[in-house]
Chain A
Amino acid sequence: MSNISELSLTKIINGIKKKDFTSEEVTKVFINNSQNSKKLNAYISECFDDALKSAKSFDKKKDYNGLLSGVPIAVKDLFCTKDVKTTAGSKILHNFIPTYESTVTSNLWSKGAFLLGKLNCDEFAMGSSNETSFFGNVVNPYGKQLVPGGSSGGSASALAAELTPATIGTDTGGSIRQPASFTGIVGLKPTYGRCSRWGIAAFASSLDQAGPMTKNVEDCALLLQAMSGYDPKDSTSVDAKVENYSSKLTENVKGLKIGIPNEYRVDNMPTEIDNLWKQGIDYLKDAGAIIKNISLPHTVYALPAYYIVAPAEASSNLARYDGVKYGHRAKGKNLIEMYENTRSEGFGDEVKRRILIGTYVLSSGYYDAYYLKAQKVRQLIKNDFDKVFSDVDAILTPSTPSSAFKIGDKTDDPVSMYLNDIFTVPVNLSGLPAISVPAGYDENNLPLGLQIIGKAFDEQTILNLSLAIEKRANFKKNFKVWWS
């Protein structure tokens, strides 16, 4: 029974259906793993008792019709969960208990899954290392000293360490794909509008998108299908057909045209990353895909544009956390002082930094030079992708410019931290879907991922290409459990 947690999500669901084991047995395994994982600091809130109750009641009802029948799932603590504390990794929401359930988590529960717990993340998803969380940094199972990436670092770490059979995160500039790459798992950011943002604490509304994080591509297809769908409560969600990704999943990618963008060969990129990329190209060639060199000329401007647009939206989105209605409230002699004290105490440094940047770039006199220009750059970056997608079916790049780095290594240098997102950010700015699939190791035996970017609403193609890589890379986790 102890090897249940090593199984994929798909195998667990099938196992429950075939009565190889019960939902309760599955849940107990993951609860046990989770309880022994304190050193990873992956959880903010544990819902083990309720999860066990749900499992028992599932086993009684024996309704196996849902896509996710009988599985416990822990989710990033950015998703509002009814009657369960939701913090967004921030002190300002340390005591906030929503009376509502986010659309995406509702979708999971309506398909037979239930909540196992809330996973640590960077404060309001602002970070690339999970070091900005008010609840402390998360540790990568690949090493006591290593960050799991961010902002969905708790999700990535929990999945890699088998504390949950699958998880969901959010991705504003790489927050699913970068930690997926750092922990050797699959992570997909869907097309903007594919999943509802309703009930997810907002970071940058025009970029935020929820997505699945799983052990393999097959699970990813399944979870994506379960969580996606149009939601009239989110004006930016798109009423596009959700495919049956699982049944259409195939490693046959013969004849697909894959673009390799010149501009992603950045200066000082480690040879290992370059080699991994070449390896990926070979895998896809082997699978019958056609490789084409392409140009995305405005790539170099993506990161600066992102670090204007995202903080601008964040500065406004986070204005609601003022101590008046819910969450942390500090004392003050008058209203303004109460606001100031609440926000000074409630927000961490990175969040404050981005609120300041965002306020600055929207200020009168600077708006045109920063925000407006960044929006124009964003359009140019979108145009770049539109142009190449008339010629190729998908784009292959590395997921990150490095493997997982050491805790504390970049905390004093925000810009070098931001550079982590260099390959992932253009995708968010363009609203496109992209996946990170584990493809190899660096010389320190740390996992590395490859990113496949697809056309809008064509998640199926990037899933198929990932499957082709997954079969050839034959990636296996190579850490021993050191934390329990």
Chain B
Amino acid sequence: MAEKKFDYFINGEKGKWEVIIGLEVHAQVLSKSKLFSSSSTKFGAEPNTQVSLVDSAFPGMLPVINQFCVEQSIKTGLGLKAKINLNSVFDRKNYFYADLPQGYQISQYKKPLVGEGEVILDMPYGTKKVGIERLHLEQDAGKSIHDIDPDNSFVDLNRSGKLRSIMRYLGTCDGNMQEGSLRADVNVSVRKVGDSQFGTRCEIKNVNSIKFMQMAIEYEAKRQVEILESGKKIDQETRLFDVKKNTTRSMRSKEEAHDYRYFPDPDLLPLKLNKDLIDKLKKELPELPDQKKDRFIKDHNLSPYEANILVSEKEISDYYEEMIKECDKKLATNWITVELFAVLNKNNLSISQSPISAKNLSSLVKMITLGKISGKIAKDVFEKMQVSDKDPKQIVEEEGLVQQSDPKELEKIVLEVLSKNQDKVIQYQSGKVKLFGYFVGEVMKVSKGKANPNLVNDILKIKLK
């Protein structure tokens, strides 16, 4: 029964349809130079300032594979628990286009660098494996790209960021969808529940955010169900996602599809990898989100929910780990996921743009634990930190917010409060113990929030006896 929750169904007028989704993800390898030339990959440079003779396909120019890009892809493969193929082949994908100077794209077709792997998604109702069919390296009109094609999988789109997160942990792709470092083509088909054959699929291009991916799939699945229910057939075709109209429209039919005439690139020898290299890269792999999550739960006593949030982005877990060098783990988690996230959301910032550094937030939390300031004061200080990212110790000192912990001073305030509230003291002593909180509140008010709550409690208890 639980299985069903992973599946994606549409209730049509004539029955229930199952939606099948496959993603072709294009992720730009994080590398200083291109896959087959020594040109830079820096984003945002002036057009054609990072082009070599190889990139612009001058006569007699030859590609040379960038070892670093190969290693980055192997790392990605290892991070996806995928099979690394010791022998892989670069193929030419032939077609004419103005931004394709060679008249062919160097890609991998029959023998990709990385074979089957998986991404495990943590869902509220359990875990779901998404199959990875292959990962290969390809050149993209001057960019270095590799593909990941999980095929025939049931993807919860709210978690499509998982792949991106893994690659960012690995440092193999920056995952920046705005700059086009990460793009995806989406394949969608539908079939009647219980059918063993897949339906005819359509490929949707131009989907450059996870939100758009979700919108495109929903629209496309409904469109296909409507067509099939009206007794017509789905044409296998490539469609474009129209962001403004939230629809997909035909780009080219199967008949118009290119015959890419793939064949092994004779300029590049088959890529033969040494097992030692793979073992070395395996050893160098950083801790991945799943492993990190397990460690946070086991060693830091965090709940799976908390751990999940912290590992969802590498930068968040980095922030957390920076904080807990100095302060309590549980408190750090709370401050990040509640207070800090509220600020970030409000200002539409990512954690790497946080106005408060991990070091300063950690120092704030430490002051609470040491009893130097109360939780309430801490929130005031936190407000001020957002403006300046000053060391909270400095703010507390400058503003005179240090907690009042002198028993004699506190006793004075307690006595003052009790003498002003004789009636309530009598009520308390005759059994209305709930009033204790009222006295605490009054003491805090008089001390402008600076009184040490623990000490106030102790003194009140003695004086009210």
**Chain A residues within 8 Å of B, Cβ to Cβ:** 79-80, 86, 88, 93, 96, 98-100, 102, 197-202, 204-206, 232-236, 312-313, 315-316, 318-320, 322, 324-326, 335-336, 339, 359, 362-364, 367, 371
Contact = CB atoms under 8 A, between A and B. Distances in A.
A326 B58 contact: yes
A108 B377 CA distance: 80
A315 B261 CA distance: 10
Contact of B266 (A198, A206, A336): A206
A236 B269 contact: yes
Contacts, number: 95
B266 A80 contact: no
Interface stretch (B99-107, B204-212, B217-225): B99-107
13 contacts: A79-B60, A80-B60, A86-B59, A98-B58, A206-B266, A235-B268, A315-B94, A315-B261, A320-B101, A324-B101, A362-B94, A362-B261, A364-B261
Interface string B36-72: 0000000000000000010011111111110000000
B9 interface: no
A199 B268 contact: no
B226 interface: no
B259 interface: yes
A465 to B, nearest CB: 30
Contacts of A80: 58-60
Given A204-B266, A362-B263, A100 B58 contact: yes
Interface string B249-265: 00000000001011100
A206 B268 CA distance: 10
Given A204-B266, A326-B58, A316 B63 contact: no
Nearest to B54: A233
Contacts of A99: 53
A359 B261 CA distance: 8
Given A316-B104, A320-B103, A325-B101, A235 B61 contact: no
A233 B62 contact: yes
A336 B98 CA distance: 9
Chain A interface, >50% SS class: loop
B293 interface: no
B59 A201 contact: yes
Nearest to B263: A362
Contacts of B94: 315-316, 319, 362
B57 A364 contact: no
Nearest to A335: B98
A234 B263 contact: no
B318 interface: no
Contacts of A313: 263, 266
A371 to B, nearest CB: 6
A320 B54 CA distance: 11
Contacts of B92: 316
Nearest to A96: B59
Contacts of A371: 263
With most chain A CB atoms within 10 A of its CB, the pick from B57, B60, B104, B262 is B60
Interface of B: 53, 56-65, 92, 94, 96, 98, 101-104, 259, 261-263, 266-269
Nearest to B260: A364
Contacts of A202: 59-60, 267
A318 B261 CA distance: 14
Contacts of B102: 319-320
A363 B263 CA distance: 10
A319 B103 contact: yes
B263 A367 contact: yes
Contacts of B62: 197-198, 233-235
A235 B98 contact: no
A102 B60 contact: yes
Nearest to A103: B60
A322 B98 CA distance: 9
A364 B266 contact: no
Nearest to A339: B96
B263 A324 contact: no
A312 B263 contact: yes
B58 to A, nearest CB: 7
- In the A-B complex, the 9 residue pairs with the smallest Cβ-Cβ separation, listed nearest first, are A319-B103, A206-B266, A205-B266, A362-B261, A320-B57, A201-B59, A199-B60, A200-B60, A364-B259
B365 to A, nearest CB: 54
A428 B64 CA distance: 23
Given A325-B101, A326-B58, 5 more contacts: A200-B60, A235-B267, A236-B266, A316-B94, A319-B104
A173 to B, nearest CB: 14
B141 to A, nearest CB: 12
Contacts of B61: 198-199
A8 B53 CA distance: 37
Given A362-B263, A364-B259, A235 B64 contact: yes
Given A93-B59, A205-B266, A313-B266, A100 B103 contact: no
Nearest to B100: A319
B302 to A, nearest CB: 50
Contacts of A236: 266-269
With most chain A CB atoms within 10 A of its CB, the pick from B92, B262, B267 is B267
A359 B60 CA distance: 21
A376 to B, nearest CB: 13
B21 to A, nearest CB: 26
A86 B286 CA distance: 51
Contacts of A336: 96
A153 to B, nearest CB: 20
Contacts of B266: 204-206, 236, 313
B257 to A, nearest CB: 10
A80 B58 CA distance: 10
A98 B59 contact: yes
Nearest to A199: B60
Contacts of B65: 235
Contacts of A233: 62, 64
B56 A325 contact: yes
A363 B259 contact: yes
A291 B60 CA distance: 41
Contact of A324 (B98, B261, B267): B98
Contacts of B60: 79-80, 98, 102, 197-202
Nearest to A232: B64
A322 B58 contact: no
Contacts of B101: 320, 324-325
A319 B65 CA distance: 21
A22 to B, nearest CB: 34
B263 A205 contact: no
Given A88-B59, A316-B94, A324-B101, A100 B53 contact: yes
A318 B63 CA distance: 16
B383 to A, nearest CB: 58
Contacts of B269: 235-236
